Amino acid sequence: MLTSLADNGVLEQWSLPAIEQLQPISDACNWLEDYLTLQAPPSDRELCDELMPPS
C-alpha cells in the first residue's frame, strides 16, 4: 500500500499492484498522441517514441 496526503487534508491509500497494472507512461503517451503528432512543437514530437513499443 502507498498512502498519500493531499493539500486539502485528504488521506488516500493506493494498492501498488493495481497502480502497476495501469501502465501510467504508456497510458499518458496514448492520451497525448494526437497532440504530439499535430500540435506539439517539433522538439517535443518524439517525446514518447522511446517509451512506447511500435504500433
- Could you write out the three-class secondary structure of 1-55? CEEEECCCCCEEEECHHHHHHCCHHHHHHHHHHHHHHHCCCHHHCCCCCCCCCCC
pLDDT at residue 39 above 60? yes
Residue 43 CA to residue 55 CA, distance in Å, equals 21
Query: The C-alpha cell of 37 is what?
Result: 503528432
pLDDT at residue 54 above 80? no
* Under 8 Å between Cβ of 2 and 13: yes
Higher-confidence residue of 37 and 52: namely 37
Across 26-39, average pLDDT: 88
Find the helix or strand (DSSP H, E) in which 20 lies: helix 16-21
Across 24-34, average pLDDT: 85
